[in-house]
Amino acid sequence: MFRPSSIAVVGASRNREKIGNIITRNLLATFRGKIYPVNNKAEKVENLQAYKSLKEIPGDVDLAIISVPREYVVQVMEDAVEKQVKAAIVITAGFKEIGEEGAKLEEQLVSVAKKGGIRFLGPNTMGLISPDYNGTFAYANITRGNIALVVQSGGIGAYMLDWAQRTRTGISFLVSMGNQADVKEYEVIEYLSRDPETRAIFVYLEGVSDGEKFLDVVPEATQRKPVIFIKGGATSKGAEAVKTHTGSLAGSYEVFRAAIRTVGGIFVEDLGDFLNLSRLVTSSEPINEDILVITNSGGHGVLTSDAIVRNNLNMVELPERIKDELRKVLPPTSLPKNPLDLSGDAGRDRYMEALKIVQDLDCTKLVIVQSLPVVSDSEVAKVLLNFKGKGIVAVTMGVDEDSAMRILESASIPAFNMPESAIRAIRYFTTKPVVRKKIRVAQPINSALELVKGKQYLRDYEALQLMEIYGIRTPKWGIAQSEEEAQRVADNIGYPVVMKISTDTPVHKTEMKGVVMNVEKEQVKQVYKELSKITKRVLIQEQLTGLETFVGGIKDPVFGHSVVVGSGGIYVEVLKNVGHAIAPVYEDEALEILKESKVHDMLTARKRNYDEGSLIRTIVSVSRLIVDLNVKEMDINPLIVNEKGAFAVDVRIVF
């Protein structure tokens, strides 16, 4: 598929507005091997001999690109099998993406191809561009280079090609995945990671075909070269009813993001950022998170500093000796500081002098030029060519920004036309992803298996027992079925206690007015009496103080088990400051998601000595437990953390 010697275009029309014709012309413009148009009516297509069917082609066919009406696609695939075609690209749409009828046709197509040993891309794809050929119906004029694009939307692929062309970004491959009926995105990523012409892989996904395989295969690819992901469909939530908070929080977007972290990919939210990042990836400037801003406009300096701080990058402090040297070349109206404002009357020479002084500082030099009658972007761009390799990132703004960018790009110096875009690209580029391959072999504990056997839910006290089996601490607790038993249990625990209704299914006890806090010795029987109007069984717990946190687990339909952490109680619902990770997690990753969710900050605020280690161990245990017992959804909320440890107060589990 990627390096064919001969290609047949099935559905090669003579009409220049039809997709089959455009593909034929794109091949004519790019492919050096044999091209066989297949058209059941025409003798010739674009001056090439045409054939009535694949079977009539005299020579071997490595690849068939199929663009015929939907109802003929399966027949064409059967012909391809008979002709012993090695691979196919099915351009035609109208399969799984439009509903049940299309899905059936897609199944037929897969079965025919599988039986015949043909691997195929699509259906519903824009096609494939390799260094050898353009097998798409996008425009043919592509700059060759080192960026590979893998897209799950042909339109996005077409846009990226246009963008690459406009910004003179060189492309090695474009693979439009379509419905992924056969060839999957992880296979393509893996192939491209081994391709010597490709320096970085940019992937637009709307979904993943097989989460487990993705988690298994992609980590090896990201160790070879940067793989950058963007996801479409961020806000579409599954309509499935959910029983726990975790269920409602773990929208597939968050789990997707966690999966990208696990495999060591770079995750970007915005299409513009995604494309801009390619400018840094293809350059070899040494770029780090310490930034020195050099500009001829005070306002640009101010806005850029804002963007640097917002993006958690660092404004470097200039050393005194550098300041002294700068004072010699700056006018009295400019101060030697960062941002370094060369002032509105700065010409190319002032840029040159300042850059000479700072060139050996170990930092990124973000050079911003606002075109003015006294200086043009292009003049400064030429100055910058002298400092290639010194960590230069340019932002050219104003009338001749485009020609300045062209000068810089031809020297592989990254150039942008907005400071914010440059800053965000630097932020993503300097993020160092860690690959964390997940091994998901269930190693359940026998007593746990016995406890959960055949159950869809655990009762509240059973869930507490399960916590204890997995080494997760709980507040002292007991169950009472009468006033006397309640008194006895509470006396054993010590006062004050919390008393709750004890239910067989997961419910919001607070909403049912089923929780009473601060119960003292003399109140126990009365409280029991009240609560027993709702449930005869009452749960009595030691009343703990500390930070209320939340630890949950969910089985994502795509990526399988993952954990969620956040602040507990209502904060998890309202603030949605949560951290996600694919299970199982280890201690370092648990700490990372605690930081992401800001729980880490809360534990350490005000010189508190709350036991973060205990919380980390709890997260690790939960991530283990959900894999071992194949939990569908669970949450511990609250999990109270104080100086003595982390304690699971309320636990809900659904299998």
Which one-letter amino acid corresponds to residue 23? I
With CB under 8 A as the contact rule, the residue among 75, 84, 312, 333 that binds a copy of itself is 333
Given 76, 85, 183, 397, the residue binding a copy of itself (CB under 8 A): 397
Residue of 33, 94, 251, 475 interacting with a copy of itself (CB under 8 A): 94
Is 261 in contact with 433 (CB distance < 8 Å)? yes
Shortest distance, position 428 Cβ to a copy of itself, whole Å: 16
Return the residue matching tokens 């569908």.
632
Say which residue the tokens 């956040």 belong to: 566
Among residues 96, 97, 93, the alpha carbon closest in space to that of 108 is found at: 96
CB closer to a copy of itself, 377 vs 628: 377
Report the residue from 116, 131, 233, 475 that binds a copy of itself according to the rule CB under 8 A: 233
Binding residues among 551-570 for a copy of itself as defined by CB under 8 A:
567, 570
Distance (Å, whole) CA 635 – CA 247: 9
- Piece of 82-90, 221-229, 477-485, 572-580 that binds a copy of itself (CB under 8 A): 572-580
614 Cα distance to chain centroid: 29
Residue 153 or 474: which CB sits closer to a copy of itself?
Answer: 153
Contact 132, 3 (CB under 8 A): yes
Closest CB 156 distance from a copy of itself, rounded Å = 4
Nearest to residue 256, comparing CAs of 265, 244, 245, 247?
265
600-639 residues near a copy of itself, rule: CB under 8 A? 601-602, 605-607
Nearer to a copy of itself by Cβ, of 19 and 619: the residue is 19
Q: Of 93 and 451, which CB lies nearer to a copy of itself in the complex structure? A: 93
Q: What residues contact 5, with CB distance under 8 A and at least 6 apart?
A: 33, 34, 60, 62
State which of residues 13, 283, 297, 503 lies at the interface with a copy of itself (CB under 8 A): 297
Cα 387 off chain centre by? 35
Size of the site for a copy of itself (CB under 8 A): 88
Interaction of residue 335 with a copy of itself, rule CB under 8 A: yes
Compute the least distance from the CB of residue 336 to a copy of itself, in Å.
12
Is 507 a binding residue for a copy of itself by CB under 8 A? The answer is: no
* C-alpha distance from residue 130 to each of 65, 144, 297 (Å): 14, 9, 44
Residues 424-483 that bind a copy of itself (CB under 8 A): none
234 binding a copy of itself? (CB under 8 A): yes
Find, among 567, 568, 597, the residue nearest to 580 by Cα. 597
Decide: is 29 part of the binding site for a copy of itself (CB under 8 A): no
Task: Please state, in angstroms and rounded to a whole number, the distance separating the CA atoms of residues 21 and 42.
Answer: 12
Does position 131 interact with a copy of itself (CB under 8 A)? The reply is no
Q: Which parts of 581-600 interact with a copy of itself (CB under 8 A)?
A: 598
Interaction pattern, residues 516-555, with a copy of itself; x per rule: CB under 8 A: -xx-x------------------------x-x--------
Q: Which residues between 486 and 505 bind a copy of itself (CB under 8 A)?
A: 496
Stretch that binds a copy of itself, among 149-157, 380-388, 444-452, 622-630 (CB under 8 A): 149-157
Distance CA 600, CA 118 (A): 52
Interacting residues with a copy of itself between 272 and 291 (CB under 8 A):
272
User: How far is it, in rounded angstroms, from Cα 381 to Cα 255?
Assistant: 43
What is the Cα–Cα distance from 418 to 431, expressed in whole angstroms?
Answer: 21
Tell me: does residue 138 bind a copy of itself (CB under 8 A): yes
* Local structure of 37: helix, strand or coil: strand
CB of 316 vs a copy of itself, minimal distance in Å = 15
Task: Give CA 577 to chain center in angstroms.
Answer: 17
Radius of gyration of the chain (CA): 31
* Alpha carbon of residue 282 to chain centroid: 21
Q: Which of 204, 267, 351, 528 touches a copy of itself by CB under 8 A?
A: 204
| Dihedral, 223, 228, 230, 231 alpha carbons, nearest 10 | -20
